[in-house]
């Protein structure tokens, strides 16, 4: 803090990363400042982004239209309050769906209904509009300084605050308080990836692409030849992005035949695709949305009170309140899903028998299966995918299966109560939660729009896309000078490919993060790794994630001290907190996304400490006594 020429003390804040998390904090800062927070101060806010200020990298506005969100537009907002009849401004503004509806009326842009899905580019445009609404309506004593550039280092200043170095003008920024909202990392390759990269280097004509946003991958015809074969590792959400880039992105189109079935019309510029994953199942479709934008689900079994009671029982019997996921959490979660599953079926009036709800069987339908040919596996895969589409068409309220699976999304906050900040025994977290539950949960709860699965069915039927099978192996065949993709459960599935693409988004890892900023924070000791510690032995298990306090999420330094002017939010903290990739709030609801942003905004705007006496003397030197 220092005195400017008008004698008003100035507080300087820096927000590094202007994707949804950074923008959400900026919005709450603006609301609080408009309400009179830090009256009598001048506030300067630096908003810094390496790719696009106001949208960030993942949502940047120059990406292709086929990269799609997986949340319907009516359930997405970046404003912490709903429209109130006045102009869009911090605290009161339209949801993504309302914004799109207004743009369609005012500018003739393509309309979308509240239960439709927008492209990531369109969401980026919405983010930019929110950013502009914030910038236009800041109080007169608040300055917003926007910088496109990478922060390469952050250094603590002895008298307080931080010095930020950038790779572009203004090159140096001094800030009293700093928020790290940097989003998805770009990691150095692990040992498996490095082996495949080295193999590709030794064999001209081969390419291995590490996991990243598909919009940032070299997927054009100039990078991957049309007559080549491409292997894709992972069949989650990003798989669909890569798939469309190599098909629609090459000029192919989808159309319906005379019987109404979707078919793919190739351009002739596509490569052949062979994909695979641990399950052998492409991530299933989300159910047709039937829920209002402000829908909330009130759990009956897996409640915050139930989690607290479980902790009390654990403490009484073991001396520690650490939970075991499979004993204390999973039975309540399954009971919650089963209750919705059965009650939805009963409400439908159906007299058909209801098969048991078995999450593992749904996520691993080929677990013990053996197929004598790729054709036999393909036939069974298409049957499962078509049945999934039929279930999705029933909806996430009327359809028993998709209604139950949608609860996995609705009760995330309660699961967080159990698992965040080392709430589970380390062995239970590693084995039961991470290795067993999370892959099943991710496959069954976070699917793409049904349209994407329909398109994949059409591509498989066309012969352009093959799925190798379960337990897919991706190896380097030195003798034949190509990558090899095969499934041990499908006879004759082996395929040689010239390009191998990892279609999985990297997890945050302080030790592998390539960014100069992360390396600087670690080297300066300003951040430290979140460790899961055994309550009895004290043994620690590394996670790769950033260690933070409870809200407002102060970073904890290497010496264990709390950096109360340095904050971290979102994906960098993923291992201390679960499912931090949430990218929006919900209209009319005080979501955790909003609460996180407001907690940080409130703390960043707390009254600054008095400046050191020497600084005050310097600031007033030469003035009359």
Run of H or E residues at 492: none
Q: What are the backbone dihedrals phi and psi of residue 34, each rounded to the nearest 5 degrees, phi first?
A: -65, -30
Upper half-sphere CA count for residue 171 (Cβ side, 13 Å): 0
- The C-alpha atoms of residue 330 and residue 432 are separated, in whole angstroms, by 9
- At the second CATH level, the architecture of 191-283+449-502 is 3-Layer(bba) Sandwich (3.50)
Is the pLDDT score of 620 beyond 80?
A: no
CB neighbour list of residue 218: distance below 8 Å, 6 or more residues apart:
209, 224
Mean pLDDT for 327-350 is 96
Q: Contact at 8 Å (CB) between 455 and 261?
A: no
CA-closest candidate to residue 120, choices 163, 88, 76 = 76
Quote the CA–CA distance of 227 and 463 in Å, as a whole number: 14
Strand pairing class (482-486; 473-477): antiparallel
Read off φ and ψ for residue 405, nearest 5 degrees.
-65, -30
**4 pLDDT more than 80:** no
- 292: CB partners within 8 A, 6+ apart: 74
pLDDT tens column, 450-477: 999 999 999 999 999 999 999 999 999 9
* Section 556-571 average pLDDT: 98
pLDDT at 178: 98
According to DSSP, the β-strands at 253-256 and 262-265 are antiparallel
% of the chain residues with pLDDT over 90: 94
Q: What is the predicted pLDDT for the residue at 212?
A: 95
Statement: residue 617 has pLDDT above 90:
no
pLDDT at 610: 66
- Tell me the mean pLDDT in the region 378-397: 98
Q: For the chain, which residues make up each domain, given as ranges?
A: 58-148, 151-167+181-186+506-585, 191-283+449-502, 304-368+393-445
pLDDT score of 611: 55
Question: In the prediction, which pLDDT does 608 show?
Answer: 84
Name the residue with tokens 């829920």.
Answer: 291
Among residues 16, 29, 389, which one has the least CA distance to residue 181?
Answer: 16
pLDDT digits (tens, 9 = 90+) for 588-609: 999 999 999 999 999 999 998 7
Phi, psi at 310, each rounded to 5°: -65, -40
Rounded CA-CA distance 249/243 in Å is 9
pLDDT, one tens digit per residue, over 516-560 is 999 999 999 999 999 999 998 999 999 999 999 999 999 999 999
Amino acid 326: pLDDT: 98
Q: Taking all residues of the chain, what is their mean pLDDT, rounded to a whole number?
A: 95
Which pLDDT belongs to residue 123? 98
* C-alpha separations of 338 from 64, 302, 335, 443 in Å: 40, 12, 5, 18
- Phi first, then psi: give them for residue 150, nearest 5 degrees: -95, 130
Strand, helix or coil at 391? helix
Three-state secondary structure call for residue 235: coil
Q: CA–CA separation, 4 vs 619, rounded Å?
A: 8
Buried b / exposed e across 520-543, counting CB within 10 Å, b at 16+? bbbeeebbbbbbbeeeeeeeeeeb
Residues 6+ apart with CB under 8 A from 259: none
pLDDT of 429 > 50? The answer is yes
Task: Please tell me the predicted confidence (pLDDT) of residue 351.
Answer: 84
Q: Which residue has the tokens 């967080």?
A: 416
Of 620, 611, 546, nearest to 161 by C-alpha is 611
Lowest mean pLDDT: which of 1-15, 214-228, 375-389?
1-15
Backbone phi, then psi, for 479, in 5-degree steps?
-65, -40
Q: Which residues contact 387 (CB under 8 A, 6 or more apart)?
A: none
* Per-residue pLDDT at 282 exceeds 90: yes
pLDDT digits (tens, 9 = 90+) for 160-195: 999 999 999 999 999 999 999 999 999 999 999 999
CB-based contact 80:91 (threshold 8 Å): yes
288: tokens are 């047709």
Q: What is the pLDDT of residue 613?
A: 46
**In this predicted structure, what is the pLDDT of residue 6?**
59
CB 452 within 8 A of CB 285: yes
Q: How would you class 85 by CB atoms within 10 Å of its CB: exposed for 0-12, middle for 13-18, buried for 19 or more?
A: exposed
């Amino acid at each position: 803090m220092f005195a400017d020429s008008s004698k008003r003390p100035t507080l300087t804040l820096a927000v590094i990363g202007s994707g949804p998390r950074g923008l959400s904090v900026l919005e709450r800062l603006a609301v609080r400042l408009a309400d009179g927070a830090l009256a009598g101060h001048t506030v300067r806010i630096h908003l810094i982004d390496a790719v696009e200020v106001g949208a960030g990298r993942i949502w940047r506005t120059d990406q292709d239209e086929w990269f799609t969100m997986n949340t319907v537009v009516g359930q997405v907002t970046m404003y912490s309050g709903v429209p109130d009849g006045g102009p869009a401004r911090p605290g009161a503004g339209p949801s993504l769906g309302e914004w799109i509806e207004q743009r369609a009326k005012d500018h003739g842009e393509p309309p979308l209904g509240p239960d439709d899905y927008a492209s990531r580019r369109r969401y980026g445009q919405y983010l930019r509009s929110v950013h502009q609404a914030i910038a236009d309506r800041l109080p007169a004593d608040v300055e917003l300084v926007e910088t496109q550039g990478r922060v390469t280092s952050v250094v603590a200043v002895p008298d307080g605050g931080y010095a930020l170095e950038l790779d572009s003008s203004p090159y140096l920024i001094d800030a009293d308080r700093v928020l790290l909202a940097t989003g998805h990392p770009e990691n150095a390759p692990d040992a498996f990836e490095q082996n495949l990269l080295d193999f590709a280097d030794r064999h001209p004509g081969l390419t291995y692409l590490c996991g990243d946003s598909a919009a940032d991958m070299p997927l054009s015809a100039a990078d991957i030849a049309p007559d080549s074969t491409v292997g894709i590792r992972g069949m989650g959400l990003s798989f669909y992005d890569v798939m469309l880039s190599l098909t629609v992105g090459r000029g192919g189109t989808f159309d319906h035949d005379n019987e109404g079935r979707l078919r793919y019309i190739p351009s002739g510029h596509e490569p052949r695709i062979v994909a695979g994953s641990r399950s052998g199942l492409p991530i299933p479709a989300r159910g047709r949305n039937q829920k209002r934008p402000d829908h909330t689900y009130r759990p009956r079994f897996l409640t915050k009170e139930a989690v607290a009671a479980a902790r009390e029982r654990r403490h009484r019997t073991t001396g520690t309140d650490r939970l075991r996921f499979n004993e204390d959490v999973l039975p309540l979660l399954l009971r919650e899903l089963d209750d919705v599953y059965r009650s939805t079926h009963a409400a439908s009036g159906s007299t058909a028998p209801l098969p048991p709800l078995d999450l593992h069987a749904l996520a691993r339908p080929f677990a013990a299966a053996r197929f004598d040919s790729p054709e036999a596996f393909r036939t069974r895969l298409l049957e499962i995918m078509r049945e999934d589409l039929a279930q999705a068409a029933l909806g996430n309220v009327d359809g028993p299966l998709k209604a139950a699976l949608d609860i996995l999304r609705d009760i995330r906050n309660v699961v967080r109560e159990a698992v965040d900040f080392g709430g589970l025994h380390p062995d239970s977290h590693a084995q039961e939660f991470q290795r067993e539950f999370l892959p099943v949960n991710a496959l069954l709860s976070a699917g793409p729009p049904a349209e994407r699965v329909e398109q994949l069915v059409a591509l498989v039927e066309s012969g352009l896309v093959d799925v190798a099978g379960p337990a897919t192996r991706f190896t380097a065949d030195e003798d034949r000078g190509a990558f090899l993709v095969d499934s041990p459960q499908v006879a004759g599935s082996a395929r040689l490919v010239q390009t191998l693409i990892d279609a999985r988004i990297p997890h945050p890892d302080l030790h592998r993060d390539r960014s100069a900023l992360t390396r600087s924070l670690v080297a300066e000791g300003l951040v430290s790794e979140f460790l899961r510690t055994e309550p009895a032995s004290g043994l620690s298990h590394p996670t790769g994630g950033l260690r933070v306090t409870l809200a407002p999420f102060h970073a904890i330094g290497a010496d264990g001290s709390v950096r109360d002017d340095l904050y971290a939010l979102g994906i960098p903290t993923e291992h201390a907190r679960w499912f931090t990739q949430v990218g929006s709030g919900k209209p009319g609801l005080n979501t955790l996304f909003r609460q996180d942003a407001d907690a940080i905004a409130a703390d960043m705007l707390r009254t600054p400490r008095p400046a050191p006496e020497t600084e005050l003397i310097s600031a007033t030197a030469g003035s009359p006594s």
